[in-house]
Structure 1
Amino acid sequence: MRLSPRLLASPVTPKLVPGQKQPRLAVLPPIPLYRRLLRIHRKKLGPEERIMGDLYLKDEFRRHKDIDNPIHIVGFLSQWQQYGQMLEGDDWKGQKMDTELLEKMSDQQIGQMYELMQAIQQRGRDSVNEETVDELFDPSKK
């Protein structure tokens, strides 16, 4: 049996101990990072979260595929890689956004975040309304 370099490779993201800062890692190339993020979504997110996450991920990578500025490319890829590491860690639920990151965002980015928040809240209200309607028509679901 021949060993392939892929089998001998070490993981890109080492496990973190709680409270430990993340070490600086080499940024993954766009396509492997994109595939890895889709795989993480498949493993870690629920069906609705996955649909929304996959659509957003695909849209962002499409929008940034023609960027030529190396600083923007590295920033984009490193933020997405950090997002993937955060999802793998399971401590992301209920976490608040860093104020430093918010201060660095443009007005358009903040507007997008606000729209995303509203869409999530609306989806939550819709699912609660569906459960209430189901209970009205089927008392056994109470």
Structure 2
Amino acid sequence: MAGVGEHLSRVRALYKGILKLHRGLPLQMQALGDQYVKEEFRRHKDAQKQEVDVFMNEWTKYYVVLAKQLGPKRKFKTVGENLSPELLDNFNNEQMGQLKELLEAATTPPEQATGTKENS
């Protein structure tokens, strides 16, 4: 099955490329982004082909946008872009919950984020 090996190679290349791009982000954003990427790629390890196609397409778009925003011809000081209402309409409840958690983690000041979790 050469197709499976080729697919795994593409997934690994995208994963490593995204983590490499994250090195250009501020440290807090890099840590949050790396954690999120690792969890999402793990979560989709055994996904169905249709889900994998959408997953790879969206993460490839993310890679391209971030590469442009962090590249040498950087025109903007901010990174990222807003999600369209159409895309948000396609999110299921679990995805909306993940998005809310990501928003909270991204907007919580570092001093509050470290002081609110109890040691287990």
TM-score (norm 1): 0.62
Structure 2 match to 1:116: 102
Unpaired stretches in structure 1, ≥5 consecutive residues: 1-27, 128-142
Distance 2:111 2:89 in 1: 30
Secondary structure at the counterpart of residue 108 of structure 2: helix
Return the index of the structure with the highest Cα Rg: 1
Q: 1:45 aligns with which of 25, 41, 64?
A: 25
Matches within 5 A, 1:1-142: 29-42=10-23, 44-67=24-47, 69-90=48-69, 93=79, 95-123=81-109, 126=112
Size of the alignment, in residue pairs?
Answer: 98
Secondary structure at the counterpart of residue 102 of structure 1: helix
Deviation at 1:125, TM superposition (A): 7.4
Distance 2:106 2:56 in 1: 25
Aligned-residue RMSD, C-alpha: 2.1
Distance 1:118 1:87 in 2: 21
Q: Which runs of 4+ in 1 moved over 6 A?
A: none
Deviation at 1:123, TM superposition (A): 2.3
Distance 1:95 1:60 in 2: 19
Identity over aligned residues, as a percent? Answer: 32
Counterpart contact for 2:21–2:67, Cα < 8 Å: yes
More helix by proportion, 1 or 2? 2
Deviation at 1:124, TM superposition (A): 6.0
Distance 2:62 2:84 in 1: 13
Instruction: Show CA shifts across 1:93-128 (max 9, x none).
Output: 36322111100100111111111111222226749x
Structure 2 match to 1:22: none
Structure 2 match to 1:16: none
